[in-house]
Amino acid sequence: MSQNKNEVLYRVYIVLGLLMVFAGFIFYYAIKISVLEGDFWRKEGEQKVKLYTVKASRGNIMTEDGALLASSLPFFDIYFDTKTPSQELFDQNVGSLALGLMPYLGDEYDFTEGGLEQFLKDARDSSRQYLLIKKGASYLECEKIKKLPIFRKGQYGGGFIAEENFRRKRPYGMLARRTLGYVRDNGKKVGLEGFFDKTLGGSDGKRLKVYKAASKILVPVNDFNEIEPESGQDIVTTIDVNIQDVVHKALLRGLEHHNAQNGTAIVMEVKTGKIKAISNIGKMTNGWYEDYNYAVGAAVEPGSTFKLAAMMALLEDGFIDLDDTIDLEQGAHTFYEEEMLDASYHQLDSTTIRKAFEISSNVGIAKLAQKYYGDTKEEKRFIEHFRNFRLHQPINIEIDGEDPPTVKDPERKREEDWSGITIPWMSIGYEVELTPMQLLSFYNAVANDGKMMKPYLVTQVQHFGEVLKTFKPIVVKNQIAKKETIRDVKSLLEGVVEQGTAKKLKSNQYKFAGKTGTAQINYYKFDRKEDIKYRASFVGYFPADDPVYSCIVVVTEPRQNGRYGSEVAGPIFREIADKCFIQQKELFPKENLIAKKYSDRDKMPQLDVGYKKDVTKVLEKLNFPHTDSGVKNWAVLTANTDTLHIAPRYISRDLVPNVVGMGLRDALYILENLGLKVTFEGTGKIVKQSIKVGTKIRGQNIRLTLR
């Protein structure tokens, strides 16, 4: 019995001992917090009042016609200081406030109206003084909440607190996203946002705020800023949003079709150097994204598109005439034990230099370069031409991170890995590196009859509509080559499209000129590999007779449906050019000004097809008597004695519609929205379509004939 009693006492002593140790810890920390660290914690508990930064509204980035590409929109974090309203004001209006707040509550709240009213009452009665009502409210939401009962009394009468912040928005999504760029705190500044950061950023202001430790929020002391922020200035770009949309969609379709790794496309205005569109798209694990500015930041071996520079050098020195003959040796020649091959087997021996360029013969161009510049004494002359063409200098466009071009110097052979076959390989676009933008600038100068313009992206700086600064076109060099040389190479570029490597791309509606290119990415002249990857390109200008736009398309690592520039990049260029023609009336060739004679002018119009509202508007304007079947969207006119009848033209989502009789704009709108790929020839109205009406839609190519 006594033994059991002792065991119980031992256990009691152990528990008591543990309690005493625990109490000792509590006593120690109480003394530490209240005495030893008392001053520190008392300061932490105090209200911290100081000036805090108020971010300025960042300036807009706009297209040349005023459309917004990037803008800063205000958003508000809304709080309720439950202790501020008088008891009478609170009691009389808390129910109405709860009812008004219901549509605006954040996701963290899930209340009924009665539940929210009780929540507000409990908060006022407890220590929860500052309640978050909504995070990230829009300006309109903030204005509506501000007018609710109690809140309409303001911060000091009703406890309404709104913390303003700004978010950068891009209305056009991924369009030109990498070109527009971004600015991040303590991060790299990218694109126009980074280059014009000081201009767009404005000046931050200051506001006196008090830090409420219990709620961990900043509460403004006054209704005003002690130092008002100054909003950033706007920049007006050269970008045309319609052309940008065309370029982006054409490039994306091409990358998807060829399962490529990445690609870039640029459209430049020939006479001014204005960049009208620039798109950079790369393949990511979760889809396609503008992940890097390949147009400006990636200097690569251009391949056959560089042959234009080699030809211009030969013509400048008077070494060749385009009608001279050259032995292509059926597309194979050895330079210093290193064999060079043409891209395709053509079985040609002796042919003209013009033909050699049009079919993009590596052997033909390289043999000419080696013949006239292969001697050690002549190497410098060859490279000096490239310098005269400004191929050795960066563009210095308004985007940071431009990759400088690489053009080897024969006077630094050891440092630059110069060998006996550098000249022939350089003449066909290897052992030289250019960004797509730098190469396009060169071709644009050819299109501009030898005058090289500096490519640029920004035309004005504005503030509240007032123009503060204007950027005008800059001539880099008045004449990069003799006029005769420019004339000759322009005829070569037209020949590439008319009867050369790009002949399948030529249009019956307009003429364009350009050069195909196919470069082996992981190729090294002394180390052949089996798993060679390719970069396909096409660069040129349109219309050929009076160039308005120059354009380059570069597609890296196409994995299916072709690998050459003529079958990968060329069709993208053609689609861009086609749709620019549709949108830009100044590109159309001038028609005969003499009115055409019609034998049926006295007949009623019929079988005209178009959008119902447009058809009705025209008939009413011309006072044509007509009847209406009540069609809502697409309509076709039929003649009935002396009256026109508006009949429906039905469009199915799954079947190829009948677009005969329509104008091209309406037909493109319908067919492309149904997922069909459209090509066309002729002008006027559609008289024929290549796919039968009612055929199941599977993303086919459809050709329209207009007359």
Once rounded to an integer, what is the mean pLDDT over residues 117-133?
84
Per-residue pLDDT for 2 more than 60?
no
Distances (CA, A) of 577 to 254, 319, 343: 14, 35, 26
Token pair 């409420």 in the structure block, residue: 212
CB 283 within 8 A of CB 252: no
The 10s digit of each residue's pLDDT in 351-388 is: 999 999 999 999 999 999 999 999 988 999 999 999 99
Looking at the predicted structure, is the pLDDT value of residue 504 above 80?
yes
Q: Which of 25-39, 464-478, 583-597 has the highest average model confidence (pLDDT)? A: 464-478
Q: How confident is the model at residue 597 (pLDDT cuts 50, 70, 90)?
A: very low
- pLDDT score, position 499: 95
Q: Is the pLDDT of residue 153 over 70?
A: yes
In this prediction, residues 257-286 reach a mean pLDDT of 96
- CA distances, 291 to each of 235, 243, 555, 598 (Å): 23, 21, 15, 56
Q: What is the mean pLDDT of residues 450-463?
A: 97
Q: What is the DSSP letter of 589?
A: P
The mean predicted confidence, pLDDT, of the chain is 86
Under 8 Å between Cβ of 423 and 386: no
pLDDT at residue number 40: 57
Ramachandran angles phi, psi of 167, nearest 5°: -125, 140
CA–CA separation, 334 and 554 (whole Å): 29
What domains can you pick out in the chain, each with its CATH number? 51-237 (3.90.1310.10), 245-456+477-587 (3.40.710.10), 609-706 (no CATH)
Task: Provide the angle, in degrees to the nearest 10, between the axes of the packed helices 379-388 and 307-316.
Answer: 110
When mean pLDDT is compared across 37-46, 367-376, 568-577, 599-608, the lowest value belongs to 599-608
The span from the CA of 534 to the CA of 519, in Å, is: 6
Comparing 662 with 637, the larger pLDDT belongs to 662
Pairing of strands 217-220, 205-212: antiparallel
Look at 487 and 594; give whichever has higher pLDDT.
Answer: 487
Give the pLDDT score at 689.
87
Give percent of the chain above pLDDT 90.
Answer: 52
**What is residue 262's predicted lDDT score, i.e. its pLDDT?**
97
- Report the pLDDT averaged over residues 90-94: 93
The pLDDT value recorded for residue 384 is: 97
- Say whether pLDDT at 595 is over 50: no
Task: Give every strand in the sheet of 262-269, ordered side by side.
Answer: 287-289, 275-284, 262-269, 549-556, 534-542, 513-520
pLDDT tier, 632 (very low <50, low <70, confident <90, very high otherwise): low
- pLDDT tens figures, 163-201: 888 889 888 888 888 899 988 877 788 899 999 999 999
| pLDDT score recorded for residue 416 | 86
**Tens of pLDDT along 213-239?**
555 666 676 666 667 788 899 999 999
pLDDT at 602: 46
Judge if pTM exceeds 0.75: no
Confidence of residue 38 (pLDDT cuts 50, 70, 90): low
Q: Is the pLDDT of residue 426 over 50?
A: yes
User: What does the DSSP assignment read for 172-240?
Assistant: TTTTTHHHH-B--TTS--BHHHHHTHHHHH-B-EEEEEEEETTTTEEEESSSS-SB--BPPPEEEES--
**Strand-pair category, 701-706 with 677-681:** parallel
Q: What is the pLDDT of residue 356?
A: 96
Structure tokens at 344: 């395709």
Tokens of 455: 């490519």
Q: 555, 538 in Cβ contact below 8 A?
A: no
pLDDT at 511: 94
pLDDT at 7 over 50: yes
- Give the pLDDT score at 489: 98
| ω into 302 cis (within 30 of 0) | no
In this prediction, residue 643 carries a pLDDT of: 66
Which pair of structure tokens corresponds to residue 49?
């009042």
Task: Name the band, by pLDDT with cuts 50, 70 and 90, for residue 608.
Answer: low
User: Above 60 in pLDDT, residue 592?
Assistant: no
Amino acid 593: pLDDT? 42
Which pLDDT score, from 0 to 100, does residue 589 have? Answer: 59
- The token pair at 320 is 């060749």
What is residue 594's predicted lDDT score, i.e. its pLDDT? 41
SS3 at position 580: helix
The pLDDT tens digits for 234-261 are: 999 999 999 999 999 999 999 999 999 9
Q: Are 675 and 651 in contact (CB under 8 A)?
A: no
Q: Using CB atoms within 10 A of its CB, is residue 520 exposed (0-12), middle (13-18) or buried (19+)?
A: middle
C-alpha to C-alpha distance for 438 and 396, rounded to whole angstroms: 10
Report the distance separating Cα 654 and Cα 214, nearest Å.
Answer: 61
